[in-house]
Amino acid sequence: MSFDACAELVRKGDADRFRCAMVAPVELRGRLLAIYAFNLEVAKAPWVTQEPLIAQMRLQFWRDAIDEVFTGKKPRKHEVIVPLAQVIAQSNLPRELFDALIDARAFDIDHDPHTGREAFDIYIENTSGALMELAARALGAGEEAIPTIRDFAYATGVARLLQALPALFAAGRDPIPTGWVLDRGLIAAAAVDGPLSRAIHDISSDALRRLNKARQHRKLVPHFALAAILPGRDAGAILRKVLKSPENVLKLAALSEFQQRWSLLWRVSTGLW
């Protein structure tokens, strides 16, 4: 089975995860690329149309496709589903992670904010958490590593969401639960203060705590699963920057491609994350 289509999708749509996948052993790279291609297709489903019903139909397509794979039906002839079905069988990946990831993306269809901090945490767990766990399991990580991977994935998800806040707010999305009705005009002008600043501080603080906890237990994560961890390699730096000045979160500068490549090289050479 060829994974070339998955590789090209990820290379174009998720360049950093593509680079991280290339760190995995050659014979296992296809597994990560199929998982990341699936994630990319699901994640973009709510954003490629302005019609909520069409977005829901796109997510339903993936729900049905995953159901068919796990119920023993022949996979649909699709450039991502066919190789993904092979990876699921090879790695014995759990269905609930795929279902959770798809269901979580339904939030991105609407413009309503999360109902509270618990709902926000579930979203991060079922997007970043499910994805990193799937990637680690595909590389052979066992149950003893999963709690540590989940802590690191939570921090990764929060850091990536904070980096995306300018685009999310500009699109009319309110991903940070504050318990208040916020003025999107002020947010668009980068006037982050009051309840939003406090919420960002609290979320970032909890994320950094979980990241530090994960690093304390990094020995539980086998080195051969490093490629699954690497997409979160800069989460700590992002979270510390936000905690230092939550009101400037909308001014976070994305790392240049050179910085991303250098960071990846350093992590790979040291084995530290």
For the stretch 182-226, pLDDT in tens is: 555 445 444 556 788 889 999 999 999 999 999 999 999 999 999
Residue with tokens 């051969």: 224
Q: In terms of pLDDT, which residue wins out, 262 or 69?
A: 69
What pTM, to 2 d.p., does this model score?
0.92
Q: Express each pLDDT in 153-191 by its tens digit.
A: 999 999 999 999 988 888 888 899 886 555 554 454 445
pLDDT of residue 252: 76
Name the token pair of 247: 């009101």
Helix 146-170 with 117-124: angle, nearest 10 deg = 110
* Band of pLDDT at residue 253, cut at 50, 70 and 90: low
Distances (CA, A) of 7 to 22, 30, 80, 140, 211: 10, 8, 10, 20, 29
Average pLDDT over residues 237-264: 83
pLDDT of residue 229: 97
Among residues 100, 146, 98, the alpha carbon closest in space to that of 123 is found at 100
